[in-house]
Amino acid sequence: MHATPRHFLMCRPTYFAVEYAINPWMDPARPVDRELALAQWTRLRQTYLELGHTVDEIEPLPGLPDMVFAANGATVIDGQALAVQFREPQRADEAPAYRGWLEQAGFVVHDAKYVNEGEGDLLLAGDFVLAGTGFRTSHAAHARVQEVFGRPVITLQLVDPCFYHLDTALCVLDERTIAYLPEAFSPGSQAVLRRLFPDAILADLPDAAAFGLNAVSDGHHVVLPVQAAGLISTLRARGYHPIGVDLSELRKAGGGPKCCTLELRGAGR
């Protein structure tokens, strides 16, 4: 379990708000403290820098309150980027913004063609891409992912609307190890996960509800919500170095550390 330096893209929550509800965590009637969101996000960015990772920033756009969730902006593997197509119209205009950023950074960008919400539902685990469907990313997009990246795609059915993106229910810790919430998946998908990852860490509902699985691992350090106390101690016992961060304001939109973080794998220009 050794750390490797990562390259991330993030989007400052300048225009962050909860103005509509497209997942069960969002309640537009509940106030959001944007200053606090910004401070929490800045701390997350600083944590990555202190770990030796590179963080690029995309310019936030007014009128796109969920643009802070950069994981939904694309999927980038081996310098190839798959553009996204959001399911919800409220987020549609984020797609061309992320695409434009990746193009100017020198990444080859492939058209989405089907609804896919980027790394929210598409997680690289060793040679495989684990692909969620059921709420956002369409099943048709999974075949597209396999063609674009030339890596086997494992379809996983999400069944709980609270865990509507794969990255809220499953976290890749290193090339061979994942952590996940079993009951967020259909029985068949649970069997697939047991077969592929017999040594996985199984999370419980309180940790998952704290967005503990919405974690960012560099292979050794795991950045996750400080509220996920059980998962933090399990990670430590398994030899990882968990680092707790507080993203309570962003959780009001149904997001956590991983949602705010798009990994750029392979060189652009």
**Which residues form the interface with ligand ARG (CB under 6 A)?**
22-23, 26, 66, 69, 71-72, 91, 120, 165, 167-168, 253-255, 259
Closest approach, Cβ 219 to ligand ARG, in A, equals: 20
Please, what is the minimum distance in Å from the beta carbon of residue 171 to ligand ARG? 11
The pair of structure tokens assigned to 3 is 């750390």
Report the alpha-carbon distance of residue 176 to residue 217 in Å, rounded.
12
Give how far Cα 51 sits from Cα of 46, 113, 156, 173, Å: 9, 36, 31, 16
As measured in angstroms, the least distance from the Cβ of 214 to ligand ARG is 6
Closer residue to ligand ARG (CB): 53 or 252: 252
- Is 220 among the residues known to form the active site? no
| CA max distance for the chain | 45
Task: Count the Cβ atoms, other than its own, within 10 Å of residue 28.
Answer: 12
Written as one letter, the residue type at 168 is T
Identity of the residue, 174 or 263, whose beta carbon is nearer to ligand ARG in the bound complex: 263
d(CA 252, CA 246) in angstroms, rounded, equals 12
Order of strands across the sheet that contains 241-245: 216-217, 221-225, 241-245
CA 32 to chain centre: 21
Q: Measured from the CB atom, is 165 or 221 closer to ligand ARG? A: 165
Is 259 in the active site?
yes
**3-class secondary structure per residue, 126-159:** CCEEEEEECCCCCHHHHHHHHHHHCCCEEEEEEC
* Residue of 53, 165, 221, 260 with catalytic role: 165
109 vs 170, beta carbon nearer ligand ARG: 170
In angstroms, give the least distance from the CB of 259 to ligand ARG. 3
Nearer to ligand ARG, 91 or 144 (CB): 91
**Exposure on the CB side of residue 213, measured as CA atoms within 13 A:** 31
Residues 11, 171, 259, 260: which is the catalytic one? 259
- Which residues share a beta bridge with 142? none
- Active-site residues, by number, are 165, 259
